[in-house]
Chains A and B, each alone.
Chain A
Amino acid sequence: MTLPAPSSTRATARPLTDEEVARIRNDFPILETRVNGHPLNYLDSGATSQNPVSVMEAEQEFYEQRNSAVHRGAHTLAFGATEAFEGARATVAAFVGARADEIVWTSNATEAINLVTYSLSNASLGLGGPQARRFALGTGDEIVVTEMEHHANLIPWQQLALRTGATLKFIPVLDDGTLDLAAAGTVIGARTRVLAFTHASNVVGTINPVAELVALARAVGALVLLDACQSVPHLPVDLAALDVDFAVFSGHKMLGPTGIGVLYGKAELLADLPPFLTGGSMITTVDMHTAEFLAPPQRFEAGTQRISQAIALAAAVDYLTETGMGRIEAREAELGRRLLIGLSDIPGVRVLGPGLEAERIGLAGFDLAGVHAHDVGQYLDEAGIAVRVGHHCAQPLHRRLGVTASTRASTYLYTTTDEVDHFLATLREVAPFFGVRS
């Protein structure tokens, strides 16, 4: 076993108490919803989180008081909108240990990864001038991902390999659902130009050893992209300290609205990277044949931006910061333990990924012997419980773990211990209902 022991620096904060969670829940109107005659038990925050009132109000306030285009126009509203939009960038940047000019708005995390891959292929075509040559990929170069990636962090790299002639390799997953770090040392080699991997798995919930993987990439001079979609919403993340080159995360998984994602890029890299989308708002001077581009982040933000979404995302970040990311992490660690212990006590349940010994976020993916995930989800839904079923956009990982589909329960700062217990008690009824004996 080469996995390092869980780091002692994690989860040292005091977990949110049940009383605090009860107060937090008052800020989320949707949690009052009833589903099929039962109170909603929302255990699908790993797919999309719910919004506190402050986030919805931020978006509404923008449309009521400041709606106008940003970075153009000299009128008062346009100035106010620009200030709020750039203020949101600074808020999100500070939240992840970045500088404001290292934060690029995108529609979602998927677009952020595509932005990087298309900018790299533009560099491979010779665009971006001599300073972009460092990003050029070609035959013989290698791109490394892992077998546990969400499709969003796999397919854009497959496509980049096809466009450039580079080879796509991957770090395999072990039987216990963790990365084969011994193999990583050989998969990442002298030809590796890019390493892209997820910070926390959306299926098995494990937190990957970023420092170890970054060190392997640094040793061969490869760029590192971190998929932080499942980490930034759930634990304190300092991207500068992690020393990754690029990172992506999405607003709707961290109490924000849909339609907004974030690309982080080290300033010195973004400065040399050619753009992906082009058009208005990202240029300095234009003639009929050529254009000069703005400095980052505007270079990567062509066209009218997602202004209200960015502002609402900053409100979400404020909510998380005020609650305390360390305390959220500690609370979810408790809920995650409760889930894992409860699941392992139910006949026929196989938790995917490692058990309590591994560092993990507050979610659990599992298989129930003899009952398909869709049927599990249907039964739970009838009791008001929302879980994710299917392949969770990670078909290769499911194949590796020997299942077609799985069920995932994921928690967040508003999840109660009663909800976890209710889920576990209801899950216990599923196999008997389908006539499966264990």
Chain B
Amino acid sequence: MTSTALQQLYQQIILDHAKARHGSSAGPLAALPDAPLPDPASGELRLAESHQINTTCGDDVTVRVGVRGDGTAAVIEEFAWRGDGCSISMASASVLHDTVRGVTVVEARAMLDTYREMLRSRGTIEPDEEILGDAAAFSGVSRYPARVKCAMLAWVAFEAALLPVVD
């Protein structure tokens, strides 16, 4: 018994990412530097992280980002994560890693908005693969409202981690 709906949800690309977990740190992430964040104009790498928990199941993800540059030129240079959870939450963290590394903060945030809008659409929005790349594979999740949190977990952590390092 495997329904088409289930295959839509668990596309092969998701199952593969859930296993491969690109960018996932095997051990705990190293402690963040104690010093205050450098000025964006200095050209130094600015590191921050966010830990998010899905209270329904206890799944958790910590996302660490390293941003360099100022204003619209700010680029996500580093992205690392560590977490424990279901295939949807782990795969979405892995895809997020592949998607946002090296892109500007502006682009990443636009992607985040598109991704969130797709997930909240209850299946009414066709994913834009041009913008989302592999993240478009999560469009099936939008038909399962209980799983939207799983698909958003790492992205919410990413969004929160950006706040202190982007002005």
List chain A positions with a Cβ less than 8 A from chain B. 36-37, 371-375, 378-379, 382-383, 389-391, 395, 398, 404-405, 426, 429, 433-435
Q: Are B57 and A434 in contact, with the CB atoms below 8 A?
A: no
- 28 sample A-B contacts, Cβ–Cβ < 8 Å, listed by A number: A372-B57, A373-B57, A374-B57, A374-B59, A374-B147, A374-B150, A375-B87, A375-B88, A378-B144, A382-B5, A383-B1, A389-B57, A390-B56, A390-B58, A391-B57, A395-B58, A398-B58, A404-B57, A404-B60, A404-B84, A404-B85, A405-B57, A433-B10, A434-B10, A434-B18, A434-B87, A435-B15, A435-B19
B9 contact set on A, CB distance < 8 A: 378
A378 contact set on B, CB distance < 8 A: 6, 9, 144, 147
**Bound complex: CA A429 to CA B150 (Å):** 22
Given the known interface contacts A375-B86, A375-B87, the answer about A429 and B2 at a Cβ–Cβ threshold of 8 Å is yes
A99 to chain B, nearest CB (A): 40
B138 to chain A, nearest CB (A): 14
A373 contact set on B, CB distance < 8 A: 57, 86
Nearest 4 CB-CB pairs, A to B?
A372-B86, A374-B86, A390-B57, A391-B58
**Bound complex: CA A305 to CA B88 (Å):** 44
Our pick among B2, B6, B58, B144 for the contact of A405 (Cβ within 8 Å) is B58
**Bound complex: CA A390 to CA B85 (Å):** 10
Our pick among B1, B86, B88 for the contact of A429 (Cβ within 8 Å) is B1
B58 contact set on A, CB distance < 8 A: 390-391, 395, 398, 404-405
B64 to chain A, nearest CB (A): 21
A391 contact set on B, CB distance < 8 A: 57-58
A404 contact set on B, CB distance < 8 A: 57-60, 84-85
Q: Are A405 and B59 in contact, with the CB atoms below 8 A?
A: yes
List chain B positions with a Cβ less than 8 A from chain A. 1-3, 5-6, 9-10, 15, 18-19, 56-60, 84-88, 90, 144, 147, 150
**Bound complex: CA A389 to CA B85 (Å):** 12
B5 contact set on A, CB distance < 8 A: 36, 382
A288 to chain B, nearest CB (A): 44
Q: Are B3 and A36 in contact, with the CB atoms below 8 A?
A: yes
**Bound complex: CA A382 to CA B5 (Å):** 8
**Bound complex: CA A372 to CA B144 (Å):** 17
**Bound complex: CA A375 to CA B18 (Å):** 11
Given the known interface contacts A374-B150, A404-B84, the answer about A382 and B57 at a Cβ–Cβ threshold of 8 Å is no
Q: Are B3 and A382 in contact, with the CB atoms below 8 A?
A: yes
B10 contact set on A, CB distance < 8 A: 375, 433-434
Q: Are B1 and A426 in contact, with the CB atoms below 8 A?
A: yes
Q: Which residue of A lies closest to B144 (CB)?
A: A378
**Bound complex: CA A291 to CA B52 (Å):** 48
**Bound complex: CA A395 to CA B57 (Å):** 10
Q: Are B15 and A434 in contact, with the CB atoms below 8 A?
A: yes
B88 contact set on A, CB distance < 8 A: 374-375
**Bound complex: CA A373 to CA B84 (Å):** 12
B109 to chain A, nearest CB (A): 28
B144 contact set on A, CB distance < 8 A: 378
B3 contact set on A, CB distance < 8 A: 36-37, 382
B18 contact set on A, CB distance < 8 A: 434
**Bound complex: CA A389 to CA B88 (Å):** 15
**Bound complex: CA A389 to CA B147 (Å):** 12
Q: Which residue of B lies closest to A38 (CB)?
A: B1
A152 to chain B, nearest CB (A): 15
A426 contact set on B, CB distance < 8 A: 1
A367 to chain B, nearest CB (A): 13
**Bound complex: CA A405 to CA B18 (Å):** 17
**Bound complex: CA A327 to CA B106 (Å):** 65
Our pick among B2, B6, B87 for the contact of A372 (Cβ within 8 Å) is B87
A36 contact set on B, CB distance < 8 A: 3, 5
Q: Which residue of A lies closest to B19 (CB)?
A: A435
**Bound complex: CA A434 to CA B6 (Å):** 11
B143 to chain A, nearest CB (A): 11
B15 contact set on A, CB distance < 8 A: 434-435
**Bound complex: CA A374 to CA B144 (Å):** 12
A315 to chain B, nearest CB (A): 32
Q: Which residue of B lies closest to A383 (CB)?
A: B1
List 10 additional A-B contacts (Cβ < 8 Å) besides A404-B85, A434-B10.
A372-B59, A373-B57, A375-B86, A378-B9, A379-B6, A382-B1, A382-B3, A398-B58, A404-B58, A405-B57
Q: Which residue of A lies closest to B7 (CB)?
A: A433
B6 contact set on A, CB distance < 8 A: 378-379, 382, 433
